[in-house]
């Protein structure tokens, strides 16, 4: 008899039909009622077992976490909160879970504890909801770009370039670390390495996406990226996923439109397809907020926050306008900001970004035209020679969620900027070739996928929205 997912069974009209279900036991009450879950939905299916019809030894093996296969008749449930239940005629234990050892007994567990057993935390309501939402958001991103005529590009994970110029990269080598070959000058001889040169794990697929956009017009990458930044914070990971579209013939305004449309599309898709999971996480978030002092509580519930982004046009202001607003703001004048705004050119912090979104405009904000000194070499220089056509999208509760720019398509300007920032132009010949041969205006942005999932789920630590987080001192599983 073929298996059906519990999600489909729970919406089936009960007519006494015989079905087979498989899943994991969430609870077992009165030696009679099994709550079964298979991960397809937040809801459990109640199995009704007549314990007198089964051997006592078999009934004792039905414990929290055990895996069972059951066959029976589907009927309308007499209990509250469930439409159907399964009256079991036969069942077998596929996998035992010793209650004396199994760590996920039915009680509240801290997120810190669950991070220590990340291989099992999928089985909790919170994390099953998070990872169903992560799947839906991932699918929505691919669907959005596909429907817009984009081509999905697989950019390399091993690369010899540093797209951000930050230098915080994981090196890739097959050289023996206990006896590195060296040249006469004492430097490591990378000619003896696998790729005959220094290589690292990618920090971004942007530069490669630009190459493809110069022929395919509209491309996007969606893959893992890596930063060897020793940051032990709730907002940083060493391995995370990035979405990076690049579009030929787009300017900064087109770029802002695309990013806003994409974010709204993904959020709406998750709301439409993961309503039960969002409702659970919304309730969880409200319970969490009650434990905090009044002044630290979120202004919005999770559902209100998501609708806040859907129902408002994103406010678009220049960096210069933002600095004036922040300089003259009450928190700045009263010394409430941890990082006071004193002059133009300051790199904005999360507290400034959240003030603009949550207090001043009360809607998502897109900042654009940043000082060139605080932005990357590839961003298009504006006519004022002090700013670049860069843009960041700011969301409530999280600050920056998207960063992008119109790219510098003029060869001379790009070479001059690379020299100013000590980016080796000879090694980057392949990038400069796109400006030598058939250059055109183009633009793109980067969206950290985990940052988006953090926002959609209402979680507060980025380690809780990726299956197996990588951060300083941790590379389990």
**pLDDT band with cut points at 50, 70 and 90 for residue 477:** confident
Per-residue burial over 393-408, b = 16 or more CB atoms within 10 Å of its CB, e = otherwise: bbbbbbbbbbbbbbbb
Whole-angstrom distance, CA of residue 267 vs CA of residue 304: 12
**pLDDT band with cut points at 50, 70 and 90 for residue 206:** very high
pLDDT digits 0-9 by tens, 15-29: 999 999 999 999 999
Whole-angstrom distance, CA of residue 443 vs CA of residue 455: 25
The domain spans of the chain are: 6-107, 123-168+203-464
Q: What is the pLDDT of residue 476?
A: 87
Q: What is the mean pLDDT of residues 384-389?
A: 96
Q: What is the pLDDT of residue 163?
A: 67
pLDDT digits 0-9 by tens, 122-164: 999 999 999 999 999 999 999 999 999 999 999 999 998 876 6
Q: Say whether pTM exceeds 0.85.
A: yes
CATH of domain 123-168+203-464: 3.30.930.10
Q: What is the pLDDT of residue 466?
A: 97
**pLDDT band with cut points at 50, 70 and 90 for residue 168:** confident
pLDDT digits 0-9 by tens, 37-90: 999 999 999 999 999 999 999 999 999 999 999 999 999 998 777 899 999 999
**Average model confidence (pLDDT) for the chain?**
94
Per-residue burial over 72-97, b = 16 or more CB atoms within 10 Å of its CB, e = otherwise: bbbeebeeeeeebbbebeebebeeeb
Place of tokens 């980016």: 423
Q: What is the mean pLDDT of residues 440-462?
A: 97
Is residue 429 pLDDT above 60, yes or no? yes
Q: What is the mean pLDDT of residues 301-330?
A: 96
What is the DSSP-derived secondary structure letter of residue 304? H
Q: What is the pLDDT of residue 295?
A: 79
pLDDT digits 0-9 by tens, 214-252: 999 999 999 999 999 888 888 889 999 999 999 999 999
Q: How far are the Cα atoms of 275, 398, 456 from residue 305, in angstroms, in the given order?
A: 15, 11, 9
CATH of domain 6-107: 2.40.50.140
Q: What is the pLDDT of residue 294?
A: 84
Is residue 166 pLDDT above 60, yes or no? no
Which two three-digit tokens encode residue 344? 């133009």
């Amino acid at each position: 008899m073929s298996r059906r997912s519990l999600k489909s069974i729970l919406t089936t009209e009960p007519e006494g039909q015989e079905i087979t279900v498989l899943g994991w036991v969430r609870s077992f009450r009165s030696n009679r009622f099994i709550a079964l879950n298979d991960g397809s939905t937040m809801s459990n299916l109640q199995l009704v077992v007549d314990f007198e019809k089964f051997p006592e030894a078999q009934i004792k093996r039905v414990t929290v976490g055990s895996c069972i296969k059951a066959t029976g008749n589907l009927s309308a449930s007499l209990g509250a909160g469930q439409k159907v239940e399964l009256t079991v005629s036969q069942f077998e234990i596929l996998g035992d879970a010793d209650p004396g050892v199994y760590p996920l007994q039915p009680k509240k567990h801290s997120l810190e504890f669950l991070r220590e057993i990340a291989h099992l935390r999928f089985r909790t309501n919170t994390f099953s909801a998070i990872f169903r939402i992560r799947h839906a958001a991932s699918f929505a991103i691919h669907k959005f770009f596909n429907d817009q005529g984009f081509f999905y590009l697989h950019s390399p994970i091993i690369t010899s370039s540093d797209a951000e110029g930050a230098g915080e990269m994981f090196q890739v080598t097959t050289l023996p670390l206990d006896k590195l070959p060296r040249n006469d000058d004492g430097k490591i001889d990378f000619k003896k390495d696998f790729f005959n040169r220094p290589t690292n794990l990618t920090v971004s697929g942007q530069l490669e996406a630009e190459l493809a956009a110069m022929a395919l017009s509209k491309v996007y990458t969606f893959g893992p990226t890596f930063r060897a930044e020793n940051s032990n914070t709730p907002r940083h990971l060493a391995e995370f996923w990035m979405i990076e579209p690049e579009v030929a013939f787009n300017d900064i305004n087109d770029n802002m439109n695309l990013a806003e449309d994409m974010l709204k599309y993904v959020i709406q898709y998750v709301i439409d397809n993961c309503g039960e999971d969002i409702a659970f996480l919304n309730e969880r978030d409200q319970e969490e907020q009650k434990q905090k002092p009044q002044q630290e509580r979120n202004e919005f519930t999770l559902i209100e926050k998501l609708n806040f982004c859907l129902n408002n046009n994103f406010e678009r202001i220049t960096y210069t306008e933002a600095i004036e607003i922040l300089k003259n703001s009450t928190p700045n004048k009263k010394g409430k900001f941890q990082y006071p705004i004193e002059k133009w050119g300051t790199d904005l912090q999360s507290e400034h970004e959240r003030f603009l979104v949550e207090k001043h405009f009360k809607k998502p904000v897109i900042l654009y035209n940043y000082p060139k000194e605080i932005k990357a070499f590839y961003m298009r220089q504006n006519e004022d020679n002090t700013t670049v056509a860069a843009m960041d999208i700011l969301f409530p509760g999280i600050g920056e969620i998207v960063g992008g720019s119109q790219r510098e398509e003029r060869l001379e300007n790009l070479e001059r900027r690379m020299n100013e920032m000590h980016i080796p132009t000879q090694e980057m010949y392949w990038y400069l070739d796109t400006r030598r041969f058939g250059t055109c205006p183009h633009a793109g942005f980067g969206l950290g996928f985990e940052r988006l999932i953090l926002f959609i789920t209402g979680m507060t630590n980025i380690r809780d929205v990726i299956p197996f987080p990588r951060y300083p001192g941790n590379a389990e599983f």
